[in-house]
Amino acid sequence: MRRVSQVNAVTVRVPAKVNLQLGVGPIRDDGYHDLVNVFHAVSLCDEVTAEPAERLEVRVQAAPHSRVAIDGVPTGTDNLAARAARLVAARLGVEPAVRLRIRKAIPVAGGMAGGSADAAAALVACARLWDDREQPVLARDDLMDLGADLGSDVPFAVLGGTAVGVGRGERLTPALTRGTFHWVFATADGGLSTPAVYGECDRLRLDAGEEAAWPAVSEGLMTALATGDAKGLGAALSNDLQPAALSLRPALRRTIDAGRDLGAIGAVVSGSGPTCAFLAETAEDAAGLADALHGAGVAEQIVRAQGPVSGATVL
Ligand code: ATP
């Protein structure tokens, strides 16, 4: 085994994502769907600290001032961050002797890829811990490749910004954006399982006798991003999983409608839900919308964030 470095502890901040467009194509032979996925990283972040330890350990807590329910997060070896640490260790030929301390602000099973974010953070943190020479063996692209083995949202959490993903969502091309977009997120009590939401999407399509179309990137969306046109972006938000999320969690319809009624310029379920994402034109509008949504009592928690932001970053 290679001698590992003397770095003591590395903390990485990693963003949640919202899908600006989630186009779900026909189901493939391998059981996955072909997707067109426009990912957007927002300033709602988890932090993962990696420090040398006797053996691989994971500790999970809610971030300070966050009310994230962490009960559903495994602390054992099936935590995605632990799996990421093992992958990096195997690649570098070192023991995965690391304690990972995860501070969560991203809702669990909320459709914002929190588990994938923690995996991305662990990839970057462990690489820094064990590979701190001038020319690291693992470049960011290598970490994104390793991440793709853990889940299709992991490479984007390493990359950040705004990017178009095709295939299962893991082949990424950065998108041109201008300025900052202002978001309000409404979280729900209790998560939705991503496979269950895809299953419901298939069932609804079958019942309706609908053949899924091959998804294509929305040109209106790309133009709105490139020109910093918040209203255009709001109008172009789309999510093919939304009917399935609403079918499994009918109360979300009230949340989406409330956001629209209260002045959001765009409203969409984030990924597989149940978090709902609302777009506002300015930071002040976002603050007003957040207060109004809070008053309407349609969500467990209301969180403001901006995007795009960088991917997993060493602090
Ligand atoms: P996506 O948007 O990618 O579909 P999600 O945001 O809906 O994901 P996650 O928060 O990523 O959902 O968690 C999904 C499940 O993954 C959790 O219910 C939990 O059992 C498991 N999991 C494993 N590791 C983690 C982690 N570090 N943080 C959160 N959940 C994790």
Determine the pLDDT at residue 182: 98
What ipTM does the predicted assembly reach? 0.94
Find the radius of gyration of the CA atoms of the chain: 19
Higher pLDDT, 231 or 211: 231
Report the atom number in ligand 1 closest to the C-alpha of 109: 12
Q: Does 152 have pLDDT greater than 60? A: yes
Q: What is the secondary structure of 119-149 as a DSSP string?
A: HHHHHHHHHHHH--SSS-SS-HHHHHHHHHT
Q: Is 9 annotated as a binding residue?
A: no
Cα–Cα distance between 9 and 7 in angstroms, integer?
Answer: 6
In the reported structure, the alpha carbon of residue 136 is separated from the centroid of ligand 1 by a whole-number distance in angstroms of 29
> 303 and 187 in contact (C-beta within 8 Å)?
yes
154 alpha carbon – ligand 1 mean position (Å): 11
Q: How confident is residue 169, by pLDDT bands cut at 50, 70 and 90?
A: low
Is residue 36 annotated as involved in ligand binding? no
How far apart CA 264 and CA 19 sit, in angstroms, is 17
**pLDDT of 229 strictly over 80:** yes
Catalytic (active site) residue 141 = no
Q: What separation in Å is there between the alpha carbon of 165 and the centre of ligand 1?
A: 19
Instruction: Please state, in angstroms and rounded to a whole number, the distance separating the CA atoms of residues 315 and 217.
Output: 34
- What residues does ligand 1 touch, defined as CB less than 6 Å away? 72-74, 79-81, 102, 108-116, 118, 153, 191, 194, 271-272
Ligand 1 centroid–CA 74 distance in Å is 9
Q: Is 107 annotated as a binding residue?
A: yes
Please, what are the domains in the chain? Answer: 10-175+310-314 (3.30.230.10), 181-305 (3.30.70.890)
Average pLDDT (192-202) is: 94
Mutate to test the pocket of ligand 1, among 57, 152, 194 (most ligand atoms within 8 A of CB): 194
pLDDT digits (tens, 9 = 90+) for 262-284: 999 999 999 999 999 999 999 99
Is 153 among the residues known to form the active site? Answer: yes
- The whole-angstrom separation of Cα 298 and Cα 14 is 27
**Cβ atoms of residues 88 and 127 within 8 Å:** yes
